[in-house]
Amino acid sequence: MNDIVIDVRGLRKTYKSYRKAAGFVGSVRSIFWREAVMTEAVQGMDFSVRKGELVGFLGPNGAGKTTVLKMLSGILYPTSGEATVLGYKPWERNAEFQKRFAIVMGQKSQLWWDLPAMESFLLNKEIYEIPDRTYKESLEELTTLLDIKGLLDVPVRKLSLGERMKAELVASLLHRPEVLFLDEPTIGLDVSSQLAIRQFLLRYNHENETTILLTSHYMEDVVALCKRIIVINKGEKVYDGSLEEMVRETSDHKVLTVTFTEAVERKSFELLGRVMEYNPQRVVLHVPRAESKQVAAKMLTEMPVDDVLIDEPDIEDVVRKVFKETGREGLRKYES
């Protein structure tokens, strides 16, 4: 059990915000009295992460993912509960701890806007006390992997969003942290940048055994990167396990996509499964798992089939279903 890097028990975060009525009268009233609203951003969460794992936090907006990351990086104090990262309590902000982790936030940058990224790297070198040789090696390795060597002398504000995120990653990894937190790293990026960053993270995690915790609401990020996902909804953990298992547990069906060489009548399919899409030469059926192979076999023998595809349900649909079902009165169906 001693390669557990992140350990979270009963973590809870509640905070207060204020309501204000619209218009001028409401504003005047708000000077004297405001209605306080207590929000439970995170409700009693438990999980642990082993060294080298790449875990994805999945959840709708406002689910509490970013709040969890902020607590694990020491930015916020929990209302109650415990968490340790690398054996430290993050919110004690021990300098030794801070030198061993890094956080990247998708929509905010630690790079200085008007200056070339290189300047920010050098500043980080001082802040993290990175020895010259380690710095040179890390810089070389990271800028090669991310392919931004030529961009280091360009002011950050002139870089595209994708290039900026890559520079951000370099800045965060120069000190070779053992733990990396990523909050929506691919948000707003074009498809090729997203792909490049995913590939980079996979490779980096594989080569350095860095423990990575990633939040995203892009399914592609999660599918590509994370063997293990934790689904959070309304501040609660509703699933912790592998993606495939979640798909299997939540969906009782498989998707059969069949194309034909001749037209086939719709009513031929009605007994086989649920028809989702139909045109005379192509049908998409939802078939119960246990029967999928039989149905496929039957169709192959009895119908003029051109091509058959048996697939898992679309992950987005699965996830959406999980969100919907667990949002309702804490219906927790998916315990790991």
Partner 1 sequence: MRLLPLKLGLKIIENSWVRSFVWRSDIFFYRVGDVVSPLVQILIWNAVFATTTAFAGYTKETMISYVLVSSVFIALSRNWASENVGREIKDGLLNQYLVKPVSYVQFVMWNTVGRTMLATLMALVVIVVLGFVYREELYVPDFPHLILSVMIVAVAFVMNILLSIAIGLVAFWITSVEGFSAAYYNVRGLLAGGMFPLNILSPGFLFAMNVLPFSYTGFVPTQVFLGKMTVVESLAALAVVSAWTVALVVIVGVVWRLGIKRYEAVGI
Partner 2 sequence: MKLSAHKLRRYAWIWRRAVAMHFGTLVTSRSDFVFFFLGKMVRMCFFFVFFISIFAVAPTVVGYSKGEVLLFFATMNLIDVLIQISWYRGFFLLPRMVRDGDFDFMLTKPVSPLFMIAFHIFDFLDLTTLPVAIGFLWYAFSLLPSLGAVAWIGYVIFLMNALALAFALNMTLAALTFRTVQTGNLWGVFRDLMYILRFPPEIFPRGVQFFLTFVVPMLVIVAFPVKAAIGRLPLAVGVYGLAISALALVLASKFWHRGLRAYSSASS
Chain residues binding partner 1 by CB under 8 A are 20, 22-24, 27-28, 30-31
Residues at the contact surface with partner 2, assessed by CB under 8 A: 13, 15-16, 39, 41, 67, 70, 73-77, 79, 91, 93, 95-96, 98-99, 101-103, 105, 107-110, 112-115, 119-120, 122-123, 126-129
Minimal distance, residue 149 CB to partner 2, in Å: 21
Minimal distance, residue 70 CB to partner 2, in Å: 7
Minimal distance, residue 8 CB to partner 2, in Å: 17
The torsion defined by the Cα of 152, 155, 156 and 159, in degrees rounded to 10, comes to -80
Considering only CA atoms, which of 179, 1, 4 is closest in space to residue 90?
A: 179
Which of partner 2, partner 1, none interacts with 23 (beta carbon under 5 to 8 A by kind)? Answer: partner 1
Q: How many residues does the chain have?
A: 336
Which of partner 1, partner 2, none interacts with 259 (beta carbon under 5 to 8 A by kind)? Answer: none
Pick the closer one to partner 2 by CB: 128 or 323.
128
Which of partner 1, partner 2, none interacts with 31 (beta carbon under 5 to 8 A by kind)? Answer: partner 1
Residue burial 176-201, b: 16+ Cβ < 10 Å; e: rest: bbbbbbbbbbbbebeeebbebbbebb
171 Cβ contact list (under 8 Å, min separation 6): 110, 111, 117, 120, 121, 124
Pick the closer one to partner 2 by CB: 99 or 286.
99
Which of partner 2, partner 1, none interacts with 36 (beta carbon under 5 to 8 A by kind)? Answer: none
Compute the radius of gyration of the chain from its Cα atoms: 25
Minimal distance, residue 160 CB to partner 1, in Å: 12
Which of partner 1, partner 2, none interacts with 292 (beta carbon under 5 to 8 A by kind)? Answer: none
Contact 137, 144 (CB under 8 A): no
Minimal distance, residue 143 CB to partner 2, in Å: 20
* Cα angle 327-15-89, degrees, rounded to a multiple of 5: 100
Pick the closer one to partner 2 by CB: 16 or 328.
16
With 0-12 / 13-18 / 19 or more C-beta atoms within 10 angstroms meaning exposed / middle / buried, residue 206 is exposed
Minimal distance, residue 107 CB to partner 1, in Å: 12
Minimal distance, residue 170 CB to partner 2, in Å: 15
Contact 235, 43 (CB under 8 A): yes
Count of CB atoms within 10 A of residue 132's CB?
8
Pick the closer one to partner 1 by CB: 157 or 203.
157
Pick the closer one to partner 2 by CB: 119 or 325.
119
- Hey, is 59 helix, strand or coil? coil
Minimal distance, residue 324 CB to partner 1, in Å: 34
Which of partner 1, partner 2, none interacts with 16 (beta carbon under 5 to 8 A by kind)? Answer: partner 2
One-letter amino acid at 315 equals I
One-letter amino acid at 125 equals K
Which of partner 2, partner 1, none interacts with 30 (beta carbon under 5 to 8 A by kind)? Answer: partner 1
Pick the closer one to partner 1 by CB: 136 or 157.
157
Write the Ramachandran bin of 308: left for phi over 0, alpha for psi from -120 to 50, otherwise beta: beta
Give the torsion sign (CA, 40, 46, 52, 53).
Answer: negative
